[in-house]
Amino acid sequence: MLPDIRFIVGIIGSISCMLLYAAPILTFKRVIKKASVEEYSCIPYILALFSCLTYSWYGFPAVSYGWENLTVCTISSLGVLFESTFISIYVWFAPRGKKKQVMLMASLILAVFGMTVFFSSFLIHNHHIRKVFVGSIGLVSSISMYGSPLVATVSIVTCSDSRIMKFR
């Protein structure tokens, strides 16, 4: 018996996601070694946490039909573990001002996720609409997660532009 193609693609996607979630390990080894977050931004990790939480919820039978999205739920739950660990390390080594900012952003993301769970559980009774609702929020969270590294790019470009202006 050949496994279902959907299952095979799910495993390949899970491996890719696992590598993506594990990518910051070297960065956080450096943070721990230097005992400082330096100029790193925590925004990508907070947005990745939101994406992982959303897709974990999407994979549960309350949203999906049965366990049809088991691989999505499993890998996203592992992503929640990774991202929570990265955020905890960041908060541990961040200066006081950054700690407050990170905690505020993380609280906001958790509140939005809580509202998503509440609305999809208690206010949307049609299973298909619930899946579309949570999936749409997951899509927006994924776009924000993959776009979040641009925060660092904007910072670098702005810094470079100001240096170029000084030389003219």
Q: Range of 103's domain?
A: 41-166
Please indicate, yes or no, whether residues 9 and 78 belong to a single structural domain of this protein. no
Domain check: are 11 and 78 in the same one?
no
Residues 80 and 152 in one domain: yes
Q: How many domains does the chain have?
A: 2
pLDDT tens per residue across span 102-136 = 999 999 999 999 999 999 999 999 999 999 999 99
**Residue 120, number of CB atoms within 10 A of its CB:** 19
Do 50 and 18 fall into the same domain?
Answer: no
Q: What is the pLDDT of residues 18-72, one digit of tens each?
A: 999 999 999 999 999 999 998 888 999 999 999 999 999 999 999 998 888 888 8
Same domain, 62 and 3: no
CA–CA distance, 33 with 79 (Å, rounded to integer):
23
Same domain, 10 and 58: no
